[in-house]
Amino acid sequence: MKILVTVKRVPDPDQKIKLTADGRQLDLSGLPCVVNPFDAIAVEEALRIRERSSEAGEIVVLSIGAAECEEQLRTALAMGADRGIRVDTPAAADPWNVAAIVQAVVAREQPGLVLMGKQAVDDDSNQVGQFLAARLNWPQATFASKIEFVDGHAEVNRETDSGIERVRIALPAVITTDLRLNEPRYVSLPGIVRARKKPLEVLSLEALGVALQPRVKLLGVTIPTSSRAGTRLRDVDDLVQRLKELKVI
Amino acid sequence: MRILVVAEHDQGALKGVTLSAVGFARALKDAEPEILLMGHQVGSLAEQLRRYGPVWVADHEALRLAAADRYAEIIRRVAAERQASMVVAAASTFSKDILPRAAALLDGTMGTDVVGVQEENGQLLFLRPVNAGSVVATVALMGEPKVLTLRASAFKSPEPGEPQEVHPIAVDPTSLPNLIEVVRRDSKTSSRPDVTEARVVVSGGRGVKNAEDFERIIGGLADVLHGGVGCSRALVDAGVTSNDLQVGQTGKIAAPDVYFAVGISGAVQHLAGMKDSKVVVVINKDPDAPAFEVADYGLVADLYQAVPELIQKLQPSP
Ligand SMILES: Cc1cc2nc3c(=O)[nH]c(=O)nc-3n(C[C@H](O)[C@H](O)[C@H](O)COP(=O)(O)OP(=O)(O)OC[C@H]3O[C@@H](n4cnc5c(N)ncnc54)[C@H](O)[C@@H]3O)c2cc1C
| B137 min Cα distance to partner chain A (Å) | 4
Look at residue B186 and tell me if it is in a domain: no
The verdict on A104 touching B (C-beta cutoff 8 Å) is no
* B142 and B252 together in one domain: no
**Confidence class of residue A24 from pLDDT cuts 50, 70 and 90?**
confident
Residues B71 and B107 in one domain: yes
**In CATH, A3-245 is 1.10.645.10:** no
For chain A, positions 154-193, list CB contacts with chain B under 8 A. 155, 158-170, 178-180
Q: Does B195 reside within a domain? A: no
Within-domain flag for B81: yes
Helices (H), chain A: 37-52, 70-79, 95-109, 128-136, 189-197, 205-208, 236-245
Whether the CB of A12 is below 8 Å from some CB of chain B: the reply is no
Same domain assignment for residues B29 and B162: yes
Residue B187 in any domain: the answer is no
Average pLDDT estimate for A161-177: 96
> For residue B257, which of A248, A231, A236 has the smallest C-alpha distance?
A248
Residues above pLDDT 70, as percent of chain B: 99
Do the domain assignments include residue B194?
no
Q: Is the distance from the beta carbon of residue B210 to the nearest atom of ligand 1 less than 6 Å?
A: no
Domain assignment of residue B233, yes or no: yes
Which residues in B lie closer than 8 A to residue A240 (C-beta atoms)?
310, 313-314
Q: Is the CB of B298 under 6 A from ligand 1?
A: no
**What is the per-residue pLDDT across B77-134, written as a single tens digit (0 to 9) for each?**
999 999 999 999 999 999 999 999 999 999 999 999 999 999 999 899 999 999 999 9
Is pLDDT above 70 for B318? no
Say yes or no: B162 and B250 in one domain: no
DSSP strand pairing (B9-10 vs B13-14): antiparallel
Residues B161 and B105 in one domain: yes
pLDDT classification of B190: cutoffs 50, 70, 90 = confident
B17 & B91 share domain? yes
Could you give the CA distance from residue A65 to residue A60 in angstroms, rounded to a whole number? 16
Same domain, B94 and B217: no
Average pLDDT over residues A26-40: 94
Domain that holds residue B209: 200-314
pTM value > 0.80: yes
Percent of chain A with pLDDT over 70: 100
Q: Identify whether B54 is preceded by a cis peptide bond (ω within 30 of 0).
A: no
State the count of interchain CB pairs (< 8 A) between A and B: 241
On whether residue B192 sits in a domain, the answer given is no
The finding on whether B241 has its CB within 6 A of some atom of ligand 1 is: no
What is the Cα–Cα distance from A149 to A169, expressed in whole angstroms?
10
Residue B248 lies in a domain: yes
Same domain, B6 and B108: yes
What total of structural domains would you count in chain B? 2
Return the CATH number at B224.
3.40.50.1220
Residues B26 and B124 in one domain: yes
Examine the domain organization and report whether B20 and B164 are in the same domain.
Answer: yes
CB-count burial class (<10 Å; 0-12, 13-18, 19+) for B174: exposed
Same domain, B238 and B293: yes
Average pLDDT over residues B57-69: 97
**Do B115 and B226 fall within a single domain?**
no
Q: Where are the beta strands (DSSP E) in chain B?
A: 2-6, 9-10, 13-14, 32-39, 55-59, 86-90, 109-114, 116-120, 123-130, 135-141, 146-150, 166-168, 180-185, 200-204, 228-231, 258-262, 279-284, 297-300
Mutation choice for ligand 1 from B206, B210, B229, B307, CB with most ligand atoms inside 8 A:
B206
Is the preceding omega at residue B145 within 30 degrees of 0, hence cis?
Answer: yes
CA atoms within 13 A on the CB side of B8: 27
For residue A89, give the nearest of A81, A80, A97, A79 by alpha carbon. A97
- Report residue A124's pLDDT band, with 50, 70 and 90 as the boundaries: very high
